[in-house]
Amino acid sequence: MHIDLDEAIQIYAKVSRSRYGRKARKRFLETARALRAQGDKDGAAVWERVAVEVERVDARPAKPVGRVDSRIQTGV
């Protein structure tokens, strides 16, 4: 199985959002700034893409986990 860069960014953003919470985006932007200051423009661009993806993860509505039995909700 091959995972391209876009898929890797999506996966990492989701995992990192769970791990770092709302601080994830700030953390990635700080990493991007540090890399850019060292002259690593490509590395900085990737971390900036991860930060953007974390924003998208935050903007998506939460998906329900598992199936909810409607009898429980209605009290039947």
Question: What is the reported pTM?
Answer: 0.72
Could you report the per-residue pLDDT of 18-59, keeping only the tens digit for each? 999 989 999 999 999 999 999 999 999 999 999 999 998 877
Longest dimension (CA), the chain: 64
What is the average per-residue pLDDT within 2-23?
93
Half-sphere exposure of 50 (CA within 13 A, CB side): 26
Contact present, 61 and 54 (Cβ < 8 Å) = no
- The CA-atom distances, in angstroms, between 66 and each of 15, 56, 63 are 19, 23, 9
Contact present, 28 and 44 (Cβ < 8 Å) = no
pLDDT, position 45: 97
**What CA–CA distance (Å, rounded) separates 59 from 54?**
9
Q: Where are the domains of the chain?
A: 25-59
